[in-house]
A and B are shown apart, each in its own frame.
Chain A
Amino acid sequence: MKLIRLALPIWSLVLLCVLHASSSQEIQIVNAERRIDLSSHIVKVFLTLKIENTGTSPVSDVLLAFPPTQANHLALLKAQAATGKRKKKTFTFLDVYPAELPEGPNGTKYFSISLHSKLGAGEVVTLEVLYMLTHSLDPFPEEISQSESQLVYYRDSAILLSPYQVKQQITFIKTPSSKIESFSMVEPTNRAGAELKYGPYENRSPHSYSPVIIHFENNNPFAVVEELVREIEISHWGSIQITEQYKLAHAGARHKGVFSRVEYQSRPGHSGISSFRHLLARLPPRVHSVYYRDEIGNISSSHLRLDSKKSELEFEPRYPLFGGWKATFVIGYGLPLEDFLFELPDGKRYLNFSFGCPLVETVVNKLTVKVVLPEGSLDPSVDVPFPVEQYLEKKYSYLDVVGRTVVVLEKNNVVPEHNSPFQVYYHFNPIFMLAEPIMLTTTFFLLFITCVAYLHIDLSISK
């Protein structure tokens, strides 16, 4: 309750958007249902909107609004339109792109969903939106000792922030356990075990906002990869070599004071409950020569389970990670070329590989994917399903003369759902495969010739 008092003056902005463009007023949200999943450190929000065009002209875009703090932590935003009734529902994915509306109050960020077919006057459409927020759970207290469990804050609004009138809405918030220290009340608010229910609220005006703050226990591993560099090296001799360099950190409440191994070993369920030891990486099937090491050598604590569908690498960092502790390591593996490299009818080749981080339930702050094409490949082009930064580099590897083209893709704030395939297209003439063997043969040939010549030359001055 104290929190509400504190938060309300700051955040209570029930904003009537008078200046807002007339087009948005033509849409009304009949029903909005929000389910916020706080069980891991990635906040997943499922939003179901039933939208009605109350205006006269057809509408093609629907706007979503986010407060600026959420917009900064927004990792993923997907929308789909549901058509059909109940059991015969079909979903079609819709394009989402950031929209600039200069008149948004208090720095509100907008995203626009473009509908496949225009929404005529009086028509109704159901949209399902999924978005994910990272770094949105703030540990409080910020430092905990080994025996304490980790408590975090989650801040959001009880009322859906939207540029449209919302007739009816409800919000469910799911926490990992029923241990909820406190939560804001915005009547009607219900709590049942690990679930909070805000709403239903009726007839809220556009840009209504009612901040809530929830303080609850979350001991899930807050595994954050601060930086991940994935290098995918293609060799046309038959394999793809992947090297992944991780900088891992525990982004939860910082560990304070003593780390006692006795406590940690003797009471595993009780001591260091927010720390983590094990990590799981899902690798493609038919993976071979997997290694797991860091700058000072091999790390022996890992298990690889091979399967026809996928391979799972379960591994431990050198030490258990408590809040604020960091570790770096490298995972490398090889894959058969034919699983990932294909040829188009016009002679172009393309690599089809998954983009994101193979670790389960981790956030990557900065992901760099480097695709090293074989020496002599031309015109690389990339097809990624979401916006990334990209540029080209040169890399010199075994006996290269002209260097290999490297396609570098960079993306910030990556969640496991970004593990979707991307394609790199390029031209490659197989004759370049022979360059290095020919070079070596020539060198040795010349060497032997020189030897023979030297042995037959008499360089002595006097006979």
Chain B
Amino acid sequence: MSSPETASERTVRHAFGNVLAFFVLLLIGVLAFSIRLFSVIKYESVIHEFDPYFNYRVTQFLTKNGIYDFWNWFDDRTWYPLGRVIGGTVYPGLTLTAGTLWWVLHSLNIPLSVETVCVFTAPTFSAFASWATYLLTKEVKGPGAGLAAATLLGMVPSYISRSVAGSYDNEAVAIFALIFTFFLYIKTLNTGSLFYATLNAISYFYMVCSWGGYTFIINLIPIHVLLCIVTGRYSSRLYIAYAPLVVLGTLLAALVPVVGFNAVMTSEHFASFLVFIILHVVALVYYIKGILSPRMFKVAVTLVLSIGLAVCCAVISILIAVVASSPTKGWSGRSLSLLDPTYASKYIPIIASVSEHQPPAWPSYFMDINVLAFLVPAGIIACFLPLSDASSFAVLYIVTSVYFSGVMVRLMLVLAPAACIMSGIALSEAFDALTGSIKFQLLGFSTENSQVGVGDASPDNAPAQKNAVKSDASENTLKDRTSRKNKKKEKERGKEEQGGQSSLQSQIKMRLQVLPLESSIIGVFLLIMLGAFYVVHCVWAAAEAYSAPSIVLTSHSQNGLHVFDDFREAYAWLRHNTEVDDKVASWWDYGYQTTAMANRTVIVDNNTWNNTHIATVGTAMSSPEKAAWEIFNSLDVKYVLVVFGGLVGYPSDDINKFLWMVRIGGGVFPHIKEPDYLRDGQYRIDSQATPTMLNCLMYKLSYYRFVDADGKGFDRVRQTEIGKKHFKLTHFEEVFTTHHWMVRIYKLKPPKNRIRGKAKKSKSKASSISSSKKSTKIKKNPWL
């Protein structure tokens, strides 16, 4: 085995393996990129959904006006009359990334439009994310598992749903940043290199720039550190992996305007500081233990413990008092709804009203991670054989992300990489065992063992060799550590360092004896079937389920494809045929699209930062026409936009969202009461509906002259005939309705000239009660 021939053969094999791995990775990148192009091929190269339109608009501003104007951008096109400071309230990572890409392309004279760059940012970064997964899994369980995990991640439906071409959202970039940060943490943990620790902090900074989900990192890593300390795995590498991250990372995070002092002031970050202190205490203890004799050490421990406990109690009680004095205990609403799943539905209807903030149903697990759900347990088991620092981190990652995904369907996205890593490990281990035993059975023991030895050792060797090249210091620490703790790890390392020596042979023998030929062939076959099923499912999900841009709807009929392009029809109409400064009121869902596509000022948008303002719009929509007109007029609104699906059966229209408007409006303005809109607790718009419902603005704007369209007024979404068919609008006039009636735009009529005689008459007629009523009504309107 140690002959020169086999050694050279081994290097050739090694080089071949590297080249093969490189090409496989390249293909995985191509796969990850191209599986996300279904949306472009089936539909068109266009920005999807709601939030991406905002990001796109910000990117346009960035590329046009430059970075300084971007930081200082006060957007007066939205949240009229409040406006919004974009530079200080937006996670800039995504826009800066796309802006930089665009700038680089343009300096090379490649004239891609900003839109094209934005559309393809997400697929590009999902290729990066799968490479990052390879690196992370390689650190945990070797390159075989890495490649498997990268392949799985490249096409996991959960991630595809947020990163198809055109889905230009924060998550597209953030998942890459998340995985890459974890990789660098594990890399630092494995090597103890300060270089990687610094890179880790920078990568964490990028993550903070990109997504609010960075709190997941800054909580998960401390938990892992704590776990390592508790299980007696403290080492100087752990210190190097963690301390620079907290110090540098927090400093860098505070540079991002949207985070700022939150990086040290909110409860989401306290865990990291607490663990930082604990880590230092532990480090100190180990240091003192090293210089004192065991007896002296015991004395010192008792002394320090008794004093330290008292101090700790005092500090903690102060801390708790400070935290408890703030109403939300220092946690933001979204974080709280994570820790207490019932929180949002109780206190913040806006968070609860978003469908992606709901807990997922069981089928969505099957839809989003498919067979990975079954492979994950196997992967967790594989992580315990043997348990290393890295694999314990992977286990921790999957456990926490499973919990979070159970709270919010959106966080399924965080679960996906963890599931891919675990399944990659499981698949790779299973294939290792099965193919190994097939080889053994077919070729016999004597010729086989050297080859298996090589094949088995090379993956583990790769990092070890790299370690040797990169830093001698790490080698020393590695030895330090092995001498102290972790018998299993020592065994493994020992195995690596000795390469293919006799101790290995016995191990292989032990492992190979387990499986007979037939069952292992069947096992391999079944695994391939499982993989094939996964691939088929992913391609289906990418092509059918997640590629629709949602601003264009299609339906298949006998005479081919029918396209419903009503949203853009309405936005284009607004853009070209209204004054530049006109204000458009709609429910907040359409705010981003209106500003981006119609370039008109909106009252509320998808950045739901001001609940009162949204409640005002909700109140207007659920008020009768005159009161609504007054609210809108006080907000300078010129046009009101409603989405109506009743004619063509588009289910997510404003009538179906209307109860949320009532709820959110009623939350701030108590004269709007939800029961007024419900008949016996049922939401209905047919003849049984309550008069409040039938007279509210939303009903009127949606169904105005609807009965003339088909003669009956049959609503295809609600499957009923509407309750009130013939009515006139007195304060609004229809100015535009799209081809399929999906978007209807109304203009506020100008206030009528007051006719003196009439006004007097009404005054004389009106009793004191009605006038007082009027005054209270005016009071309720916050903008008068």
Query: Is B truly associated with A?
Result: yes
Where the two chains meet, the residues of A that have a C-beta atom closer than 8 Å to any C-beta of B are 257-262, 265-266, 294, 296-301, 318-319, 324-328, 396-401, 460, 462
Do B577 and A325 touch across chains, with their CB atoms under 8 A apart? Answer: yes
Do B44 and A297 touch across chains, with their CB atoms under 8 A apart? Answer: yes
Where the two chains meet, the residues of B that have a C-beta atom closer than 8 Å to any C-beta of A are 44, 46, 108-111, 469-470, 472, 551-552, 563, 565, 568-569, 571-573, 575-577, 597, 705, 708-709, 733-739, 741
CB of A349, distance to nearest CB on chain B (Å):
24
Nearest 7 interchain pairs by C-beta? A261-B737, A297-B46, A298-B44, A326-B576, A396-B109, A300-B563, A262-B708
Q: Choose among A259, A294, A327, A328 the residue that contacts B734 (Cβ–Cβ < 8 A).
A: A259
Q: Choose among B568, B733, B734, B737 the residue that contacts A297 (Cβ–Cβ < 8 A).
A: B568
7 contacts between A and B (CB under 8 A): A260-B734, A262-B705, A294-B572, A297-B44, A297-B46, A318-B565, A399-B110
* Chain B residue nearest to A325 in the complex (CB): B577
* Chain A residue nearest to B472 in the complex (CB): A462
CB of B583, distance to nearest CB on chain A (Å):
20
The distance in angstroms between the C-alpha atoms of A299 and B110, with both chains bound, is: 25
The distance in angstroms between the C-alpha atoms of A292 and B512, with both chains bound, is: 64
* Given A296-B571, A298-B44, A319-B573, 15 more pairs with CB closer than 8 A: A258-B734, A260-B737, A261-B737, A262-B705, A296-B46, A296-B575, A298-B46, A300-B565, A318-B573, A319-B572, A319-B739, A398-B109, A399-B108, A400-B109, A462-B472
Which residues in B have their C-beta under 8 angstroms from that of A262?
705, 708-709
Knowing A296-B597, A326-B577 touch, does A318 contact B569 (C-beta < 8 A)?
yes
Which residues in A have their C-beta under 8 angstroms from that of B738?
261, 319
User: Which interface residue of A261, A266, A301 has the most chain B CB atoms within 10 A?
Assistant: A261
The distance in angstroms between the C-alpha atoms of A306 and B295, with both chains bound, is: 97
The distance in angstroms between the C-alpha atoms of A317 and B577, with both chains bound, is: 13
Majority-rule SS of A interface residues: loop
Which residues in B have their C-beta under 8 angstroms from that of A325?
573, 576-577
The distance in angstroms between the C-alpha atoms of A265 and B705, with both chains bound, is: 13
Which residues in A have their C-beta under 8 angstroms from that of B569?
318-319
Which residues in B have their C-beta under 8 angstroms from that of A301?
565
The distance in angstroms between the C-alpha atoms of A298 and B549, with both chains bound, is: 12
Do B565 and A299 touch across chains, with their CB atoms under 8 A apart? Answer: yes
Q: Choose among A259, A298, A328, A399 the residue that contacts B736 (Cβ–Cβ < 8 A).
A: A259
CB of B43, distance to nearest CB on chain A (Å):
8
The distance in angstroms between the C-alpha atoms of A24 and B158, with both chains bound, is: 86
Which residues in A have their C-beta under 8 angstroms from that of B571?
296
Do A266 and B708 touch across chains, with their CB atoms under 8 A apart? Answer: yes
Q: Choose among A260, A327, A398 the residue that contacts B572 (Cβ–Cβ < 8 A).
A: A327
Which residues in A have their C-beta under 8 angstroms from that of B733?
257-258
The distance in angstroms between the C-alpha atoms of A397 and B741, with both chains bound, is: 42
CB of B701, distance to nearest CB on chain A (Å):
13
Do A261 and B472 touch across chains, with their CB atoms under 8 A apart? Answer: no
* Chain B residue nearest to A396 in the complex (CB): B109
CB of A233, distance to nearest CB on chain B (Å):
11
The distance in angstroms between the C-alpha atoms of A437 and B110, with both chains bound, is: 14
CB of A325, distance to nearest CB on chain B (Å):
5
Which residues in A have their C-beta under 8 angstroms from that of B597?
296
The distance in angstroms between the C-alpha atoms of A461 and B447, with both chains bound, is: 42
Which residues in B have their C-beta under 8 angstroms from that of A398?
109-111
CB of B11, distance to nearest CB on chain A (Å):
14
CB of B286, distance to nearest CB on chain A (Å):
27
The distance in angstroms between the C-alpha atoms of A399 and B44, with both chains bound, is: 26
Which residues in A have their C-beta under 8 angstroms from that of B568?
296-297, 318
The distance in angstroms between the C-alpha atoms of A296 and B472, with both chains bound, is: 57
CB of A386, distance to nearest CB on chain B (Å):
31
CB of A110, distance to nearest CB on chain B (Å):
40
The distance in angstroms between the C-alpha atoms of A396 and B552, with both chains bound, is: 34
Do B565 and A319 touch across chains, with their CB atoms under 8 A apart? Answer: no
The distance in angstroms between the C-alpha atoms of A387 and B210, with both chains bound, is: 56
* Chain B residue nearest to A324 in the complex (CB): B577
